[in-house]
Structure 1
Amino acid sequence: MSLPCTDITPFVDRRRRLLAQMHAAGGGIAVLSTAPQAERNHDAEYPYRHDSDFYYLTGFIEPEAWLVLVAGTTDRAILFCRAKNPEHEIWEGFRCGPDEAIARYAFDEAYAIDQLDTLLPALLLDQSVLYRPFAAAGSAQRKLRRWLAQAEQQGRGRRQPPAHIQDLRPVLAEMRVIKDASEIATMRQAARISAGAHARAMRAARPGLHEYQLEAELLYEFRRHGAQAPAYPSIVAAGANACVLHYAAGDTVLRDGDLVLIDAGCEYDSYASDITRTFPANGRFTGPQRALYDLTVAAQQAAVQATAPGRCWNDSHEAAVRVLAQGMLDEGLLQGSLDGVLDSGAHTQFYMHRTGHWLGLDVHDVGDYRQGAPSDAERPWRTLEAGMMLTIEPGIYVRAADDVPESFWNIGIRIEDDALVTAEGCELITRGVPVDAKEIEALMRE
């Protein structure tokens, strides 16, 4: 494994910002492990992916690693990682090792992972607060409990381990919800790669192909441009499959007259992209398809206009829902008045999900959508700020039903773009692949 980026400055800055918050709260120690390796089946493991919070603070991508931050008279950033081992490196590849970790990642100290049991209990002594992730893997929780017990024994009543334990995840989530310049640059590259992959799939699509063949086009484009992996299992859904929200690419054959929905994005240097496009397998929208497609485009445009600093998180969803509900009435999918449809929730028969989510190191990234303490009964929606990254993804899904016009049966449409909140409004960073129906048809004729 090698260093995923050449500039370690953003990671050092994040550690300093976290330490500053710890100082403001009275000091303490933060302890965080990376993700464990997971066995796939006998003698084989899943491709390794580090913990997002751990990476956010370290830039370190090897397994079996722990970070310790001490907010004291002299701040200390300490890494515990695998020792150099030439024999293991023959089989498994490069290991950074403690000495190189200090030079590469700007830690104050670094030690071999087998020294963790010896050194950490002493580090816990005389600390007022222990910051740790409450939702960490069970093995990490058990180790922390053991180290706290060992620290208490070592203190012999004269020195004490932390009396107060605080969840580290919400603190890091608040930091992560506003992207810094390096994160935005990385996410722009992920967006460019993913947009190119969607365009490639559109050009390749034709009746007779299987869904998995279009998935292969996506994966090829991801990897050939340097993305490490898909950010999530790719959705490639033909015909009625597009009405299944989390459908996995299967072996269904694209038929003449079908729509194809692709929801796919790459992970580039640990950051996710997330794009959805819907297009006709034969390159030409039918009348009913085009009517619902243009409706979804209009709903997304309304949501984009409602996404800006000072607006509430839910404003974009409400804007999209109003456009979609009115369109459902206009097309005869629903009956009654707009206010009646919205009040009753009748539109959820055809649009049952939210219009977006946070995006970053995780495809459904961390960060609260509401303001105030979780215990508050009525928490207002969060106010958007410049530097936030989110998706805008309205859709409409019409399954076959007796009370639905047959011309609309089995039409599933979603349009999703990644949006950066800017000082002026928002910027869609995934428009390297077209959205306009005529532009999609033109691309598919190439």
Structure 2
Amino acid sequence: MKLIKFPLFLLLLISVVGFSQTPTDFLTKEFHKERRDILRLKMPKNTVAVVFSNSLKNRANDVDYVFHQDPNFYYLTGYREPNGVLVMFSENQVDANGDTYNEILYVQKRDARAEQWNGKRLGVEGAKSKLGFKITMNSDEFEKSSIDFKKFNKVFIDGKFKDDYRNLRGIDIFDLVESFKQKTNYKPDNYISQVKMYFYSQIKDTPLENRANVVAVIKQYQNQYTELQKDKFIQGYIKAKDENLVKEMRQKITLAMNPKTIVDVDFLGATLADMREIKTPAELKLLTKAIRISAVGQIEVMKAMKPHMSETELQGIHEFVYKKYGAEYEGYPSIVGAGNNGCILHYIENNKTKVGNDLVLMDLGAEYRGYTADVTRTIPANGKFTKEQKAIYNIVYNAQEAGIKASVVGASFGAPNAACKQEINKGLFALGIIKSLDEKHNYLPHGVSHYLGLDVHDPGTYRAFRANTVITVEPGIYIPEGSPCDKKWWGIAVRIEDDILITENGPVNLSAEAPRKSDEIEKMMAKKSVLDEFVLPNLDK
């Protein structure tokens, strides 16, 4: 066969077109550099931060789960591969040649055989050009590096190591973490969290005659912070039967408050939570797209849903829409619960074979370029709410309206929750499901808001709301079978969840595209679906 010669410019054009077939709307390298610069300004003098990428997780035998990068690592680097380390210094360092630097990114080494099986790696040169780092090295150089961590006042890491890393062939995250532990003399028992440090201080500084007050406060909080239950010094202080034992515990606590370690496990996570709480315009663009994709998924399922469908099939329609828009992942395991299954808050089995005439609670979110939506709609499988279903639904809708209205700059993080619960109680009381407005019940067992961003439950400060924060407002009513109310309410579960941008001009519902009012849902469900004619062969015959 005769080979055709193409002009050079045409070959270049073909090359460019070929490379352009991958997504180009990720966050820019300038974004990630700016994040590092801001973090560096917040670091105390003579400190260093060491951030590790996520590790590969085994699914079964020689199959791994699809890799997902650690959000904090991605936020600071843009690197989407395993076996990476970021080292950031508070001040410029000087290398052997007299050149200055303030950060190093270690990445997994290029490997032709590994790339043949698992895809191309960025490598050192790719990390420089694509991610904008001045100094990049192969990850095995981290093991060999001459960085003297002990010369710094503090070494910041992002929380305690979970010690669940697999030890694979070659240099992997297991080796990198072990190397770090040796270089810094890291020992988990050396560290005191901010919560424990607070109570240690209270114990140390409180006179013996006021010990009962401290014990009462600790008991109040130890169900919330289980580490207080496990701490031998705190529990020894609580259980001490005489004054000598109390003094002994206080002495041990005083010594423990000054551990011989340079590694700090709290600063980095808290500082990044504060940064990530406020979204930049670039982040809001991606997050809004993830949310709109998820809203469109809800709309398409409203049109396609039929009583004969299974929960799994409905999940598949949602996730097909996500993929159609180019979303890489689901932000979390999809929840599709019909009838009583909707009363299970994190129901992910989705294995009911027919949704019938039940309400179907659908809590799903697309992840687009790292940012995750979280949108819930509850709709009647047959297209029409019953009287009882609509009564419960409208209570939740009114509660959500109140919660969204309360989501304003300067309000406390708990303001939407308080507003929603007040409306829920009013509605349940009016229906006779609870006997008084202040009755304790379990029909709304969760808070109604969390931050949203790179994580579905994004980190944040939980202080008063600030502009350009995105939260969820997701009230619900869940009446499982056997509840202490009229049986006609049993098996009804309703949650409505929207993603709210807090601005100086008030809250903006980013997921409003998906109908929320009961009559609007019924109108949408009456529309024809593009999937109505999509019929697959029966494989059981």
| Fold shared by both chains (TM-score > 0.5) | yes
| Deviation for aligned residue 1:134 | 2.6
Does the CA contact (< 8 Å) of 1:309 and 1:386 recur in 2?
yes
User: How many angstroms does 1:83 deviate by?
Assistant: 1.8
- Write the mapping of 1:202-351 to structure 2, written as runs, cut at 5 A: 202-336=302-436, 338=437, 340-341=438-439, 346=440, 348-351=441-444
Q: Does 2:298 correspond to 1:186? A: no
Q: Distance in 1 between matches of 2:34 and 2:337?
A: 42
CA distance in 1, matches of 2:48, 2:355: 59
Once the two structures are overlaid, the 10-residue window that deviates more, 316-325 or 423-432, is 423-432
Residue deviations 1:300-327 (CA, integer Å, cap 9, x gap): 0000111100111111100000000010
Contact 1:257 1:286 in 2 (8 A): no
Name which structure has the greater RCO, CA cutoff 8 Å, separation 6+.
1
Q: Which stretches of structure 1, 4 residues or more, deviate above 4 A after TM superposition? A: 1-4
Distance in 2 separating the partners of 1:196 and 1:249? 23
> Post-superposition shift, 1:27?
3.1
Mapped pair 1:28 → 2:121: no
Looking at structure 2, the residues matched to 252 and 237 of structure 1 have their Cα atoms a distance apart, in angstroms, of 8
Partners of 2:27 and 2:282 within 8 A in 1: no
Partner of 2:61: 42
Could you say which residue in structure 2 is the equivalent of 1:157?
none
Whether contact under 8 Å (2:109, 2:139) holds in the other structure is: yes
For 1:217 and 1:270, locate their aligned partners in 2 and report how far apart those are by CA, in whole Å.
21
Which among 349, 352, 366 is matched to residue 459 of structure 2? 366
Deviation at 1:95, TM superposition (A): 0.7
* Contact 1:83–1:97 under 8 Å retained in 2: yes
Given that 2:45 and 2:91 are in contact with CA atoms closer than 8 Å, whether structure 1 keeps it comes out as: no
Determine if contact 1:81/1:112 at 8 Å carries over to the other structure. yes
Residues 264 and 317 of structure 1, relative CA distance in 2, 3 Å threshold: same
Give 1:125-140 correspondences, 5 Å limit: 126-138=151-163, 139=174
Unaligned runs of 5+ in 1: 151-161, 370-381
Give 3-state SS (helix, strand or coil) of 1:237's partner: strand
The alpha carbon displacement at 1:256 in A equals 4.0
Label 1:97 to 1:290 Cα distance change in 2 as closer, same or farther (>3 A): same
* Native 8 Å contact 1:296 1:396 kept in 2: yes
Structure 1 residue 228, shift from structure 2 partner: 0.5
> Contact 1:206 / 1:254 at 8 angstroms: preserved in 2?
no
| 1:124 aligned partner | 149
Contiguous gaps of at least 5 residues in structure 2: 1-21, 93-99, 164-173, 187-259, 528-541
Q: How many residues matched?
A: 413
Deviation of 1:199 after TM superposition, in Å, equals 1.1
TM-score in terms of structure 1 length: 0.89
User: Is residue 27–residue 78 contact of structure 2 (8 Å, CA) maintained in 1?
Assistant: no
In the alignment, the residues of structure 1 paired with residue 483 and residue 406 of structure 2 have an alpha-carbon distance, to the nearest angstrom, of 36
Deviation at 1:249, TM superposition (A): 4.1
3-state SS of the aligned residue for 1:72? Answer: strand
Is contact 2:184–2:263 with CA below 8 Å preserved after alignment?
A: no
Q: Aligned AA for 2:494?
A: I
1:199 pairs with one of 280, 299, 304: 299
Q: State the Cα RMSD in Å.
A: 1.9
* 1:147 corresponds to which of 183, 186, 201: 183
Instruction: State the distance in 1 between where 2:336 and 2:121 align.
Output: 37
1:165 counterpart = 2:267: no
Distance 2:84 2:488 in 1: 56
2:350, 2:407 → 1: CA distance?
35
* Correspondences of 1:77-96 after superposition (within 5 Å): 77-96=103-122
Alpha-carbon displacement from aligned partner over 1:359-401 (angstroms, at most 9, x marks no partner): 11111111232xxxxxxxxxxxx21000111100000011233
CA distance in 1, matches of 2:520, 2:132: 48
Q: Partner amino acid for 1:52?
A: P
- Displacement after TM superposition at 1:137 (Å): 3.6
Q: 1:408 aligned to 2:508?
A: no
Counterpart CA distance in 1 for 2:356 and 2:27 is 48
Alignment equivalent of 1:18, drawn from 21, 25, 39:
39
Q: Is the 8 A contact 2:86 2:103 kept in 1?
A: yes
Query: Displacement of 1:75 after TM fit?
Result: 4.8
Are the structure 2 counterparts of residues 402 and 368 from structure 1 closer, same or farther at C-alpha, using a change threshold of 3 Å? closer
- Secondary structure at the aligned position of 1:108 is classed as coil
Distance 1:269 1:402, change over 3 A: closer
TM-score by length of 2: 0.74
Q: What is residue 393 of structure 1 aligned with on the other side?
A: 474
Deviation at 1:128, TM superposition (A): 2.4
CA distance in 1, matches of 2:381, 2:418: 31
Deviation per residue, 1:91-130 (Å, 9 max, x gap): 11111111121111111200011111111x4252532221
Distance 2:375 2:160 in 1: 29
2:446 aligned partner: 353
Quote the Cα distance in structure 1 between the aligned partners of 2:523 and 2:23.
42
Q: Secondary structure at the match of 2:511?
A: coil
Q: Distance in 2 between matches of 1:122 and 1:215?
A: 49
Higher radius of gyration, 1 or 2: 2
Q: Match of 1:349, SS?
A: coil
Q: What percent of counterpart residues are identical?
A: 31
Distance 1:324 1:118, change over 3 A: same
